[in-house]
Structure 1
Amino acid sequence: MFGLYITFIKPSKDAVDGPFLLYQTAIPMLRIVFQCNSIYTTMGYFCILNMNEVRPKEKPKNYLIKITFQNTGSVIDVEKFSNLELYTELYNDLSETTIFERLYHGGFLVLYAKNSENNHKTIQSIILDNNGFYNNTLDLPKNLKASNYLAMPGFRDSNFIIAQQENEYTWKVYSAEYPKFVYYDNDYDSPYIQSTYPLINSIISFSTTNISISYKLPITLSTNNISIYQHNNENPILRQSVPGSSLSLLSADNQTLILNVLESTFNQPNAKYYIVIDDNFVQDWETNQPLLGLESNIWTFNTSDNRDIFAGN
Structure 2
Amino acid sequence: MIWIAFENEEDPSCMLPYFYLQLIERTGRITYIDLNYTFPPEAVCPINITYIPLGYNYIMIIYVKTNNGVKGKYGLIINYNSEIINEIYLGNVNDYIIDSGTSVKGFICIEEHDKRGIAAWHWLSTPDITTGKVVELGSGEFSVPNLLSYTSVNSFNFSLVDGGIGYAYILRYDEMGSSATNDPNIQYWKIYVSFLREETYSSTTPSLIYQTTTKLNSIAFKSCFYNNNAGYICIVSLNNTITNKNQSRTEVNYYQLELLTTGSFVQFGMVPKEISNTGNFDLYSLIYGGFLVRKYYTNTMAMNFYILDNNGNYKSGGSFGPEFVNINLFRKNSTLLGVKETGNKLEFLLKPLLRLNNQGAEYDNPVIESTKPVVNEVIDSSINFITIKYAIQVRLSTANISIFQLNGDVYKSNLL
TM-score by length of 2: 0.43
Alignment partner, residue 108 of structure 1: 291
Q: Which amino acid aligns with 1:125?
A: F
Q: Which amino acid aligns with 1:43?
A: A
Alignment partner, residue 27 of structure 1: 215
CA contact (8 A) 2:327 2:336 kept: no
Q: Which amino acid aligns with 1:175?
A: L
Alignment partner, residue 45 of structure 1: 232
CA contact (8 A) 2:340 2:346 kept: yes
Q: Which amino acid aligns with 2:306?
A: I
CA distance in 1, matches of 2:263, 2:256: 15
CA distance in 2, matches of 1:153, 1:160: 6
Shift of 1:7: 2.1
CA contact (8 A) 2:360 2:368 kept: no
CA distance in 2, matches of 1:71, 1:137: 33
Shift of 1:76: 1.7
CA distance in 2, matches of 1:159, 1:170: 22
Alignment partner, residue 318 of structure 2: 139
C-alpha RMSD over aligned residues: 4.1
Where 1:15 maps in the other structure, the secondary structure is coil
For each residue in 1:253-290, what CA deviation from the matched residue of structure 2 results, as whole angstroms up to 9, or x when unmatched?
A: xxxxxxxxxxxxxxxxxxxxxxxxxxxxxxxxxxxxxx
Shift of 1:186: 7.8
Shift of 1:28: 4.1
Alignment partner, residue 268 of structure 2: 78
Match of 1:209 among 340, 363, 382: 382
Q: Which amino acid aligns with 2:387?
A: S
Name the CA shift for 1:82/1:59 in 2 (closer, same or farther; >3 Å).
same
Name the CA shift for 1:125/1:144 in 2 (closer, same or farther; >3 Å).
farther
TM-score by length of 1: 0.54
Unaligned stretches of 5+ in structure 1? Answer: 86-90, 244-313
CA distance in 2, matches of 1:53, 1:186: 40
CA distance in 2, matches of 1:51, 1:152: 25
Name the CA shift for 1:17/1:193 in 2 (closer, same or farther; >3 Å).
farther
Unaligned stretches of 5+ in structure 2? Answer: 1-171, 173-188
Alignment partner, residue 128 of structure 1: 308
Where relative contact order (Cα < 8 A, 6+ residues apart) is larger, the structure is 1
CA distance in 2, matches of 1:132, 1:43: 18
Alignment partner, residue 177 of structure 1: 352
CA distance in 2, matches of 1:20, 1:164: 44
The number of residue pairs the alignment matches comes to: 218
Where 1:73 maps in the other structure, the secondary structure is coil
Name the CA shift for 1:187/1:176 in 2 (closer, same or farther; >3 Å).
closer
Q: Which amino acid aligns with 2:312?
A: F
Shift of 1:178: 0.8
Percent pairwise identity: 17
CA distance in 1, matches of 2:314, 2:336: 17
Q: Does 1:64 align with 2:239?
A: no
Matches within 5 A, 1:258-297: none
Name the CA shift for 1:155/1:66 in 2 (closer, same or farther; >3 Å).
closer
